[in-house]
Amino acid sequence: MPLASQTPRAAPLSDVELGRLQALLDALPQECAPPDLSALDGFLVGVLLQPQPVPASRWLPWVHDFDAGRAAPPALDLAPLHALVRRRHGELAAAIAARRWFDPWVFELESSRDNDPATVRQAVLPWVAGWAAALEHFPALLAQAGDDAREPLATLYAMFDAEDLEDLGDLADWIDQVEPPESMADAVEDLVRSALLLADAMRLPGPASVRAGAPRRRH
C-alpha cells in the first residue's frame, strides 16, 4: 500500500495549531508521559519508514505515553490530540511517498550558535530520539535493513553520544566515519535526506529519491 494512501494528505499545521498540539500534550495527566513536538515528529517519521504500514492503533498510544505506550485513562478525550497528530502523519506520509522535502519539527535552542556542532546536535537530538524510539518499538526496519540503509542509519544515529549507542552491530563502524553537522541547515538536511534514503532502502512505494550526496564523513 503506498504511503500516501495510508492517511489522507492534509495541509501543514499552522503555528496556531502547533501551539494547540503542544498545549494538548502539556495538558495530559501526570501518569502520561508524552513526547515534545520534536520527538513526536521524529517518531512519526520512524513509524512511516517501516517496511510494512503500522496501524494507527499500534502507534497512537505512544503519542500520549512515550515511555510505555499504555492505554489512556478511560475518561481522557484524546480525539483533538489525535486529529492533529494524524494531520502531521498524513503530511509526512505524502512527502515520504513522493520523496520530497519536508520541514522537520526542529527548534533552535536560544543558546545555540549556528556554527557550533555541539549545540546544533543538541537542537536536533529530540527529533532523532523520537525517530530512534519508533525503531525500538517497531524493529522491522532495523531487522530488514540492507547495505543501502547503512549510511542514512549511521547519519542519524551519529547524532547521539557514542556511550548512548548499544547493540548496533556493524553500524558502529559507519557511525565513526560520519562528520557531525556544522550548522542547523546541515543538520536538518541530514535528517530529511536520511529519511528519504531510508524510504528507498526499505523499498517503500514512490519515486526513487535523488541522492544529492552521501552523508558527510570524517576526513
Q: Which residue has the higher pLDDT, 115 or 59?
A: 59
Q: What is the per-residue DSSP string for 134-146?
A: HHHHSTHHHHH--
pLDDT at 167 over 80: no
Residue 213: band (very low, low, confident or very high) from pLDDT cuts 50, 70, 90:
very low
Averaged pLDDT, 11-18: 94
* 3-201 fold: Four Helix Bundle (Hemerythrin (Met), subunit A) (1.20.120)
Averaged pLDDT, 167-180: 80
pTM above 0.85, yes or no: yes
Residue 113: per-residue pLDDT: 57
Q: What pLDDT digit, counting tens, does each position of 35-45 carry?
A: 999 999 999 99
Averaged pLDDT, 188-199: 97
Residue 175: band (very low, low, confident or very high) from pLDDT cuts 50, 70, 90:
confident
Percentage of the chain with pLDDT > 90? 64
**Rounded Cα gap, residues 72 and 75, in angstroms:** 8
Residue 115: per-residue pLDDT: 67
| The three three-digit cell numbers of residue 174, written as one number | 559507519
The residues spanned by each domain of the chain are 3-201
**CA dihedral sign of residues 204, 152, 35, 120:** negative
Give CA separation, 9 vs 31, 89, 92, in Å.
33, 9, 9
Residue 212: per-residue pLDDT: 43
